[in-house]
Structure 1
Amino acid sequence: LSRDPVEVDKYIADPLCGFDASVSLWLDIFEMTFRAPQEAQLDRLPKHTPIHLVGGGQDPATDNGKAVIWLSKHLKAHGFSRIRTQIYQDMRHETLNEIGADAAIAAFADWCDEAIARS
């Protein structure tokens, strides 16, 4: 989740977090995972759409950022040209609740400024 123990404690204390996933939730996740990157779905999106992908190099949910890199390459192979991908090597899953989140937030703000300027 995060290397920041305060953020981990807040997550544990939150009654809306840490629940058991239902079968229906897993079915939705699998459908999204296997259907979303299909060519027919990607063809519906404008290829000039700016996309900012972020991952943690210590995030097991994305195979330590490898899934984020895969998605970036997959989108580029389908003609998307405005993709920025950043893997923060020491971060885990919740980049914005991580030690060093200021760098990720600043990079996102810079990306937003650039995306707006190019629109």
Structure 2
Amino acid sequence: MRESTITFDSVDGLKIQTYLWEPEGEPRAVVQLQHGLGEHAGRYRRFGEALTDAGFVVYAPDARGSGRTAGGAYGHWGRDGWPGWVEDLNQLNRRIRADRRGLPVALIGHSMGSFASQQYLLNHSAEVDAVVLIGTTEVSGLADMLSGPADLSAFNAGFEHRTGFEWLTRDEAEVDKYCADPECGFETQPFEGIQTLKRAADPDELAKIRADLPVLIVSGDADPIADRGAAPELVGRRYRDAGLTDVEVVIYPEARHELLNETNRDEVTERILGFLARVLG
């Protein structure tokens, strides 16, 4: 895997730092990879290597308020707040389609990145050829919770309390890496404009998504935002009710929030790669 960095401009003046991970040969397709809250794109190198080994070129931004983009001001979301986070997906997608004309584009979002992806699709489903939502949930009730400062450690209720972040994965080494990373686990400012996320649960809005868009949803039934798998199943059902004809939902028993860092991560990765191979050719 060859790694470099590009930047793109947000509409409110931020420079979004983005990893570019390229395969050795000509790419077969593009993956636009959006990380979650309280982390950064550098944590996805292992997944990036699996994608590039399979022939994909990967664009993985450090979202606003995160990683290198934050410049140390972690959890500060810029002038446009949550709508800006969603619009950043659109700005990067435009860059990708200009850079990689003719290649299909898959959007993969984890956690907060999956929520942004759900909202992005309402107006931009024509710009992507496949979608994977990892560690996602139904978002209508989530917007109210995220209107205030987000304390991620609150999700650890019901798990062992060795570090307070056991809800992320059963793999203790991965939890320790997260806790030792100064760019992870930070408290955040409230998301201005987060109420717009509720649009992604509105049937009239979901009806705007093109019916032939393939969607894969993967979650663990021990993920505290998944309601034992019921919440991602609801997301899938809403897409089907909106007319989408190719929607898969896969729930992994006992798996927690970060499926790409879970003890069964190889199984999850292979499932995602198989989906991309099927729908992108």
- TM-score bracket, normalised by the shorter chain, equals 0.7 to 0.9
- Alpha carbons 2:203, 2:238 under 8 Å: kept: no
Q: Which moved more, 1:72-81 or 1:12-21?
A: 12-21
Residue type at the aligned position of 1:72: G
Partner of 1:19: 186
Partner of 2:212: 48
Q: Which runs of 5+ in 1 are unaligned?
A: none
Report how far residue 39 of structure 1 moved: 2.5
> Whose helix proportion is higher, 1 or 2?
1
Q: Separation in 1 of the partners of 2:242 and 2:208?
A: 11
Q: Separation in 2 of the partners of 1:31 and 1:65?
A: 24
> Whose strand proportion is higher, 1 or 2?
2
Partner of 2:235: 71
Question: 3-state DSSP class of the match of 2:201?
Answer: coil
Q: Separation in 1 of the partners of 2:232 and 2:219?
A: 6
Partner of 2:280: 116
Deviations 1:13-62 (A, max 9, x none): 1112111232226x52x531x22121232122211100010001100022
Partner of 2:244: 80
Question: 3-state DSSP class of the match of 1:20?
Answer: coil
Question: 3-state DSSP class of the match of 1:18?
Answer: coil
Q: Separation in 2 of the partners of 1:13 and 1:64?
A: 29
* Bigger RCO (CA 8 Å, 6+ sep): 1
Larger-gyration structure (1/2): 2
Q: Which moved more, 1:62-71 or 1:15-24?
A: 15-24
Alignment pair present for 1:31 and 2:216: no
Residue type at the aligned position of 2:273: A
- State the Cα RMSD in Å: 1.5
Q: How many residues align?
A: 114
Q: Separation in 1 of the partners of 2:196 and 2:227?
A: 19
Provide the TM-score with structure 2 as the length reference.
Answer: 0.39
Report how far residue 78 of structure 1 moved: 1.1
Q: Separation in 1 of the partners of 2:276 and 2:183?
A: 30
Partner of 2:175: 8
After TM superposition, what 4+ stretches of structure 1 lie above 3 angstroms from structure 2? none
Q: For 1:89, which of 237, 244, 253 is the aligned residue? A: 253
Residue type at the aligned position of 2:277: D
Report how far residue 98 of structure 1 moved: 0.2
